[in-house]
Structure 1
Amino acid sequence: MSNVTYHVIEHDGGYAYKVGDTISETFASHDEALRAARIAAAEQRVPDEDGNIEYQDARGARHVESARGDDRPDTEVDG
Structure 2
Amino acid sequence: PTASPRKQRKKLVDRRTQAAYLLSRRSNEAKVARERASVELDSSSDDPDRFVGFRFDENKAKETTTDKLNHYSHEA
TM over 0.5: no
In the superposition, the TM-score normalised over structure 2's length comes to 0.31
Greater helix share, structure number? 2
Pick the structure with greater CA Rg.
2
Please state which structure has a larger fraction of its residues in strand. Answer: 1
Normalising by structure 1, we get a TM-score of: 0.30
